[in-house]
Amino acid sequence: MLDTVDALATPGVSRVSDYVALLKPRVMSLVVFTGLVGLWLAPGHIHPLLGAVAVAAIAIGAGASGAINMWYDRDIDAVMTRTRSRPIPAGAVAADDALGFGVLLSIFSVALMAVATNAVAAALLAFTIAFYVFVYTVWLKRRTPQNIVIGGAAGALPPMVGWAAVTGDVSWASLSLFLLIFMWTPPHFWALSLFCNDDYRRAGVPMLPVVAGVPATKRHMLAYTLALLPIGLLPTLTGVVGWGYGIFSLLAGLVFLGHAVRVWRAADGDVAPARAMFRFSLAYLFVLFAAMVADRLLLG
Ligand code: HEM
Ligand SMILES: CC(C)=CCC/C(C)=C/CC/C(C)=C/COP(=O)(O)OP(=O)(O)O
């Protein structure tokens, strides 16, 4: 199948927008926002210009890892309805060009972070890129339904990268931001996988609904959403922010749990509650990180 995908590409006609699409800009915008908030919450001082460069390095690294992921997954992306119009399966960018683009940008992002901030932040950024590419994409995604539980660690690391750009270290406080996204990722993704189940089955990707069935996936979503209630409080308990955020996180967590309950009670073929939960998952994470900033600005 890879040969067919590679043969589709017409060299020389790629547009800038095709390369931008390789960076998965919509998904990565929220990833970068969490990195920005991690940087902003960290104790200590960073020159605003260097802070902006650090956030740009996170954005470039996140996008670059997305491009490498699209290169590696070009065979399954060509099969899934949701992904088949991506630049490589659509023939807009040659596979080798996408790989080169991703690798070059990855190296550039880590070098930029090292020059602008410190070795710990650069190493963490390199680790995040490597984790998404090698641990999630190459190793786990096609092998186990636990792919996004373990691989999700990559998406949870950016706030720690941002934090380390300021402090040069890793702490319980920055780990609390990691844990929040780590616990959020499975229900975020499984909600989507419930309405893209056929895509994953056709592509042979062992996502939880394909392997364990829809009811088991819904039970997992309930368990993780429930666990998010105490985990969401960790930024307060570790002193990153105060109880204004803490109370807000409990309320938002209860709404998220309400979505999980509606998904759990829905009939197997009814994917509307899963769609609603997926949409809410994005709002939930954005609003929680925004609430940390608001807590610090208004109450801190
Ligand atoms: C391994 C972990 C994750 C997996 C497997 C995953 C999977 C997905 C998938 C398959 C989509 C649909 C994307 C599309 O069709 O373009 C999606 C959407 C999205 N994800 Fe995740 N996600 C993960 C982690 C994250 C993280 C950590 C964030 C942010 C912090 C995030 C933010 C988003 C956003 C903002 C969208 C909506 C994009 C749009 O509007 O098109 N995801 N996710
Ligand atoms: C700073 C840095 C390197 C950040 C990386 C952040 C990161 C790992 C985000 C993961 C989010 C994501 C696009 C998952 C998609 O899964 P998928 O690849 O299975 O989805 P797809 O089917 O849409 O390709």
CATH number of the domain enclosing 177: 1.20.120
Do 104 and 41 share a structural domain? Answer: yes
Do 102 and 14 share a structural domain? Answer: yes
DSSP characters for 128-146? HHHIIIIIIIIIITTT-TT
Rounded Cα distance, 143 and 54, in Å:
34
pLDDT at 168 over 60: yes
Give the domain-ending residue among 103, 138, 170: 170
Give the domain-ending residue among 110, 141, 170: 170
pLDDT at 212 over 60: yes
Do 185 and 202 share a structural domain? Answer: yes
d(CA 299, ligand 1 centre) in Å:
31
Q: Is the CB of 197 under 6 A from ligand 2?
A: no
Mean pLDDT of the region 218-241 = 98
Rounded Cα distance, 228 and 244, in Å:
17
Do 288 and 139 share a structural domain? Answer: no
Query: Which residue, chain included where needed, has tokens 């023939």?
Result: 91
Rounded Cα distance, 68 and 62, in Å:
10
pLDDT at 8: 53
d(CA 270, ligand 2 centre) in Å:
27
**Which two structure tokens, joined as six digits, stand for 113?**
């972070």
Query: Which residue, chain included where needed, has tokens 């975020």?
Result: 188
Query: Which residue, chain included where needed, has tokens 């589709």?
Result: 8
pLDDT at 167: 98
Do 221 and 194 share a structural domain? Answer: yes
Give the domain-ending residue among 150, 170, 190: 170
d(CA 235, ligand 2 centre) in Å:
24
Do 147 and 52 share a structural domain? Answer: yes
Do 29 and 150 share a structural domain? Answer: yes
Q: Is the CB of 279 under 6 A from ligand 1?
A: no
Do 133 and 229 share a structural domain? Answer: no
Rounded Cα distance, 173 and 142, in Å:
33
Do 152 and 262 share a structural domain? Answer: no
Range of the domain at 178: 172-300
> Residues 171, 107: contact at Cβ < 8 Å?
no
Q: Is the CB of 136 under 6 A from ligand 1?
A: yes
Where does the pLDDT of residue 3 fall: very low under 50, low under 70, confident under 90, or very high at 90 and above? low
pLDDT at 300: 72
**Exposed/middle/buried for residue 206 (C-beta within 10 Å: 0-12, 13-18, 19+):** middle
Do 116 and 15 share a structural domain? Answer: yes
pLDDT at 57 over 80: yes
Q: Is the CB of 30 under 6 A from ligand 1?
A: yes
> Residues 142, 206: contact at Cβ < 8 Å?
yes
Mean pLDDT of the region 224-244 = 98
Do 127 and 98 share a structural domain? Answer: yes
pLDDT at 268: 83
What length does the chain have? 300
Q: Is the CB of 65 under 6 A from ligand 2?
A: yes
d(CA 27, ligand 1 centre) in Å:
5
How large a percentage of the chain has pLDDT more than 70?
96
Rounded Cα distance, 88 and 84, in Å:
9
pLDDT in tens, 73-129: 999 999 999 999 999 999 999 999 999 999 999 999 999 999 999 999 999 999 999
Question: What global pTM score does this model have?
Answer: 0.95
pLDDT at 102: 98
**Residue nearest (by alpha carbon) to ligand 2 atom 7:** 155
* Number of domains into which the chain is organized: 2
d(CA 35, ligand 2 centre) in Å:
15
Looking at the CA of residue 31, tell me the nearest atom of ligand 2: 6
| Four-residue CA torsion sign, 260, 262, 263, 264 | positive
Do 185 and 140 share a structural domain? Answer: no
**Residue nearest (by alpha carbon) to ligand 2 atom 13:** 27
pLDDT in tens, 240-291: 999 999 999 999 999 999 999 999 999 988 999 999 999 999 999 999 999 9
How large a percentage of the chain has pLDDT more than 90?
93
- Any idea what the CATH number is for the domain that residue 148 is in? 1.10.357.140
